[in-house]
Structure 1
């Protein structure tokens, strides 16, 4: 190809794996080129180049420009050393069919060309049901960037960015693109579960989602997570604190006994007594557990054989009233203490305290899923799953902003375990993960999947990341601190959406999660604009710098910074701090200090017309 071609950049001088060195043409007098009426930046880091090889074109990404990209023996000559580029090859095209990966490499002296708008349309121009549009190219805003939906969901993804980089807006925009809009959204069979730690997304996705909240606002549904669906170890750590082996056995034996009694009284589909374990999700009463154990711990006995209970008042399990026994006495007269007691009074007092604490009602008193003393609950896990995953909206938002921090990680682990276990074992059913996949979006993931976490949430997220692809459960990990996300989880994310990251440790973790030949592209992370991202991985046809679509203003997440300048210039209107304290005490943003009694009258159009006729 002649160097007079306006797209001509230079020639290949060295090839090393997927990395090539390009010497720029002497005919390039400036860093700008006008081709077909469009202006292109020549050799801009992150831009694309094309290398024709017969019927085939290779495409690469510019990773480095200038003297540092020149060979060692050229760098001493400063004028010529500045006219070099390092390019990382990423894909190839035959005709209009573009594929990632390489079937061949260029040779020395092969021509290198600017990628024009027509070339970009060859890469990104395909529109079908397997792709979702997420934004536009930063270098060509008329070219839409599309991601493979299959790879985005099944191969997992991560959205990473510092605070204020547009992370929440990017997630909301991507979910809207996945679901579609208008009639497409209404008829969508998408199934997305969003764990909303800060309560940001109800306003952004409320028209597409069913919202569950531990502190529900008008129009939201109460969030209930049955405690009996937790693994016994996690549940006991929360309700009873630290337990030694003997104390743990006392609790687990009693839980097993109560679950067996429930199963014997009313069989459950798919479960027999021989396969029952202490971790099997069978309803049982925590109140009855507490009452039986506290009765055993505090009992005193009389009689020659010391086997006659010295009971004064029986107490009541339902009201958490302990039984009263005659206090034990010294000497041979009795009453005598229970020598078989396990020494778990402190743990039982904590259990009673948890049951009485209204902050934990969503898990310890889960509405229609709370069993009675016999272990019978009004509803079972099937209705819970139907409420979360079986409604007619494509997105389910679990608003966890009102959940106390002491139970947040366990709650997330419980939710993910319920969902994953259900879809794992029902993979051959129509509502299983294989026939109707699920995307789980995990906001603020670093809070519960840190490398030193070792909690049930981190364990189940690792399991989803490692094997969820085979069972139709995909993960989207969202975090502002990639360095605090477990490396195993991040390495399983096939697609990375990296927004602005200024912390060098965070940037290092993102670079480590990418193939080596793309790490140079991540040097752009500190200078990305708000709402701009570098997308790389299996869902992207090429590593690309993208301007993410901005949702309409009414569908933006509640994550914007307060307008300090405007707020501090506005004249203060005192409304009384009694309203502040009322919301604090009620743990609700809409609580009021005084209920206003307003008498309202119905106004009809007929009455208004009569009034106008009279006048």
Structure 2
């Protein structure tokens, strides 16, 4: 039986030769293990890059990972107790190592189990001195180094190949609570890692509930924004725990993707419609407020008349601005015609409005008629003399009096354009045209805005997504997409965005993210204790939606900038309200620096691009410069875990998912398809039919109705016919 001193002595492999804050050089003993160490209790590979060594000191033991191994020519070493001085006087090859300190390992005696328990903490409490002994860690120490504290060992994600295949477990509170970034080149295993984290977390939660005697699903909320449609396959076995949303047509238990236009904020409408800030944006927001207030054709008559009067007032002011020449000489007939129109229109409006507005209109009629009569002369009063400035100012004052007596915004001021109140989006473009028609020369400014809105709604893939009929109630929408306590729907929602038109996919993602974030804000506000509702928002292909650009500053003017702005806010504030982000990207250098800087945990798969490697090296706070040099050579499924969820950076071999649970992102089988080993039947007619007419079920119904077997294209949805207002007889 060996004493503790003898056991420690058997683990000594060398001595500290030099010390700096980020590097410790070690001279290995001549009898240190060459390839496999047998003196640690179980055979262990040694030395290996990214392996670990210990340097005991008064604070416990400094933990360092191996970043360099080499041989240097040095004088033959002097071994204590042996006379080697005159043996040979030539340069002798000595093995040396460079290690980087990353943490401190301490031990304590567990009173219950009477066992020694090791715990690893971040940072170096005490740096070693030159000459200090360097030890190989025991299997128990290795497990404590690469593993988390016992309280944090909740979800297994893989093993450490360099630490005797010790289990790597993480705490979801730390993994998701401060945002996670999964980065790596395509084919390196990112999607499988993300799918595994979701599956393993739910499985661990369900097991903990069973162990505690609780029934039901975990009260979790994972919401996956999937632009490639690859995650649905990975969770088909989840049954009622999965809610899958797709662009129609849908089959089975799939649900139609529903991101209604009434849920969009005014800011989001402005970005997707590219509304100019001068004229288009105020009118667009006004139109949305009126539609949400149900004030379209039902506007009070005095307000409708006010808009017509306003158009006349604009023309009068334009005349006065151009000087006397605008209503004298040849222009006097145009002035007369305008006054006649004002008089006849106001006379027609007068019976339909109540007092005192009816009297004001009567005064306008009298003033305009008197001005026209005063300027007529000649036989049968067929000639017109010049009008004066006083004449035009008089009618201007009458028109202004009516404008001042009617408050156009009185009806809609109680409802904001951001309020989640349903309205028929198909009425928006026509309603904007009506507003512009009542604003004089604004029709030309608003026409392009209406054209863009009609064009967007004309896309058959988008019609049911943003304008579902009948609309889903806001409460049901929140239950369906964010989830409740797990009693009526599962903890996992996958939103398949693969068929959402590229023109609006950014605004759809931005709306979903914003509503999820704001709902969690309001949830915490309703609870006096400040309780949050933990939710995880997963974004695949994050570089597509949170792309850095030159327009980082200033208000969002495009859907892509709007999307980035939304996720930057979630990255900064989401933790306070229980919303955690999981970002998956193959191009970290294209991501918003603000979002990446807020991620506290990273899982780094193979990264080859120099700019991506440099960015990652600058982002991570740990002293892992040597470890990150392994990124270009990492095989699939291996990754570096570092950040808040692990005490020190760890090279992890991510657990492998069975093929049925892997996302649909495997490499294409070119050779097997070329050589006929894998059949690929092709039916472009089916593709063309589904592509050109949506949904296919409508085509089938039309064919049955026709009875002749000739496909009949069904009518477009209500409100989408002739979206550009063009006659079908006009040739193109």
Structures share a fold, TM > 0.5?
yes
Classify 1:352/1:584 alpha carbon distance in 2 versus 1 (closer, same or farther; 3 Å).
closer
1:308-363 superposed Cα distances (whole Å, 9 cap, x missing partner): xxxxxxxxxxxxxxxxxxxxxxxxxxxxx944645312221232232232121244
Q: Distance in 2 between matches of 1:247 and 1:432?
A: 44
Classify 1:44/1:472 alpha carbon distance in 2 versus 1 (closer, same or farther; 3 Å).
same
Contact 2:71 2:95 in 1 (8 A): yes
Offset at 1:163? 0.6
| Equivalent residue for 2:57, pick from 53, 58, 64 | 53
| Equivalent residue for 1:498, pick from 604, 612, 615 | 604
| Equivalent residue for 1:482, pick from 588, 591, 603 | 588
In the alignment, which residue of structure 2 is the partner of 1:315? Answer: none
Q: Distance in 1 between matches of 2:652 and 2:244?
A: 30
Q: Distance in 2 between matches of 1:395 and 1:419?
A: 14
Q: Distance in 1 between matches of 2:538 and 2:155?
A: 17
Contact 1:297 1:338 in 2 (8 A): yes
SS in 1 for 2:445: coil
Alignment of 1:589-600 (within 5 A): none
Contact 1:500 1:525 in 2 (8 A): yes
Give ranges in structure 1 of 5+ residues lacking alignment. 71-76, 266-271, 300-336, 370-378, 598-615
| Equivalent residue for 1:394, pick from 487, 491, 501 | 491
Larger Rg: 2
Contact 1:296 1:338 in 2 (8 A): no
Contact 2:58 2:126 in 1 (8 A): no
| Equivalent residue for 1:225, pick from 255, 259, 263 | 259
Q: Distance in 1 between matches of 2:283 and 2:68?
A: 65
Q: Distance in 1 between matches of 2:278 and 2:647?
A: 54
In the alignment, which residue of structure 2 is the partner of 1:73? Answer: none
| Structure 2 length-normalised TM | 0.67
1:252-272 superposed Cα distances (whole Å, 9 cap, x missing partner): 222233334579x9xxxxxx9
Classify 1:137/1:166 alpha carbon distance in 2 versus 1 (closer, same or farther; 3 Å).
same
Q: Distance in 1 between matches of 2:694 and 2:422?
A: 29
Q: Distance in 2 between matches of 1:285 and 1:9?
A: 76
Offset at 1:125? 7.1
Q: Distance in 2 between matches of 1:415 and 1:252?
A: 20
Q: Distance in 1 between matches of 2:655 and 2:571?
A: 27
In the alignment, which residue of structure 1 is the partner of 2:724? Answer: none
SS in 2 for 1:414: helix
Alignment of 1:390-469 (within 5 A): 390-391=483-484, 392=486, 393-429=490-526, 434-452=531-549, 454=552, 455-469=561-575
Whether 1:295 and 2:434 are equivalent positions in the alignment is yes
Classify 1:591/1:505 alpha carbon distance in 2 versus 1 (closer, same or farther; 3 Å).
farther
| Equivalent residue for 2:200, pick from 163, 172, 177 | 177
Whether 1:241 and 2:280 are equivalent positions in the alignment is no
SS in 2 for 1:245: coil
Classify 1:584/1:341 alpha carbon distance in 2 versus 1 (closer, same or farther; 3 Å).
closer
Q: Distance in 2 between matches of 1:224 and 1:27?
A: 69
Farther off after superposition, 37-46 or 159-168: 37-46
Q: Distance in 1 between matches of 2:415 and 2:153?
A: 43
Farther off after superposition, 248-257 or 548-557: 248-257
Q: Distance in 1 between matches of 2:528 and 2:606?
A: 38
| Equivalent residue for 1:119, pick from 141, 145, 148 | 141
Farther off after superposition, 54-63 or 217-226: 54-63
Q: Distance in 2 between matches of 1:151 and 1:574?
A: 47
| Equivalent residue for 1:93, pick from 81, 89, 106 | 106
Farther off after superposition, 454-463 or 87-96: 87-96
SS in 2 for 1:343: helix
Contact 2:53 2:136 in 1 (8 A): yes
Classify 1:98/1:576 alpha carbon distance in 2 versus 1 (closer, same or farther; 3 Å).
closer
In the alignment, which residue of structure 1 is the partner of 2:244? Answer: 211
In the alignment, which residue of structure 2 is the partner of 1:585? Answer: 692
Q: Distance in 1 between matches of 2:433 and 2:573?
A: 43
Q: Distance in 1 between matches of 2:703 and 2:159?
A: 51
Q: Distance in 2 between matches of 1:595 and 1:25?
A: 85
Q: Distance in 2 between matches of 1:60 and 1:387?
A: 49
Offset at 1:36? 4.8
Classify 1:261/1:573 alpha carbon distance in 2 versus 1 (closer, same or farther; 3 Å).
closer
Q: Distance in 1 between matches of 2:703 and 2:421?
A: 45
Contact 1:449 1:457 in 2 (8 A): yes
Q: Distance in 2 between matches of 1:584 and 1:254?
A: 33
In the alignment, which residue of structure 2 is the partner of 1:194? Answer: 224
Offset at 1:594? 12
Q: Distance in 2 between matches of 1:368 and 1:404?
A: 22
Contact 1:429 1:435 in 2 (8 A): no
SS in 2 for 1:64: strand
1:53-111 superposed Cα distances (whole Å, 9 cap, x missing partner): 2572322222233369x9xxxxxx99657523232322322232332233322222221
Offset at 1:443? 0.6
Classify 1:588/1:401 alpha carbon distance in 2 versus 1 (closer, same or farther; 3 Å).
farther
Contact 2:548 2:590 in 1 (8 A): yes
Whether 1:527 and 2:633 are equivalent positions in the alignment is yes
SS in 2 for 1:180: helix
1:436-469 superposed Cα distances (whole Å, 9 cap, x missing partner): 2111111100001111165122112111211211
Farther off after superposition, 566-575 or 340-349: 566-575
Q: Distance in 1 between matches of 2:205 and 2:578?
A: 26
Contact 2:175 2:601 in 1 (8 A): yes
In the alignment, which residue of structure 2 is the partner of 1:321? Answer: none
More helix by share: 2
Q: Distance in 1 between matches of 2:658 and 2:255?
A: 25
Q: Distance in 2 between matches of 1:381 and 1:399?
A: 21
Contact 1:55 1:94 in 2 (8 A): no
Q: Distance in 2 between matches of 1:30 and 1:295?
A: 86
Q: Distance in 2 between matches of 1:468 and 1:353?
A: 35
Classify 1:589/1:514 alpha carbon distance in 2 versus 1 (closer, same or farther; 3 Å).
farther
Contact 2:148 2:170 in 1 (8 A): no
Farther off after superposition, 461-470 or 426-435: 426-435
| Equivalent residue for 2:286, pick from 253, 261, 274 | 253
Contact 1:165 1:499 in 2 (8 A): yes
- Computed over aligned residues only, the root mean square deviation of the Cα atoms, in angstroms, reads 3.4
SS in 1 for 2:652: strand
In the alignment, which residue of structure 1 is the partner of 2:715? Answer: none
Q: Distance in 2 between matches of 1:389 and 1:296?
A: 37
Contact 1:430 1:436 in 2 (8 A): no
Whether 1:283 and 2:422 are equivalent positions in the alignment is yes
In the alignment, which residue of structure 2 is the partner of 1:374? Answer: none
SS in 1 for 2:38: strand
SS in 1 for 2:574: helix
Offset at 1:47? 1.1
Offset at 1:532? 0.6
Q: Distance in 1 between matches of 2:496 and 2:242?
A: 12
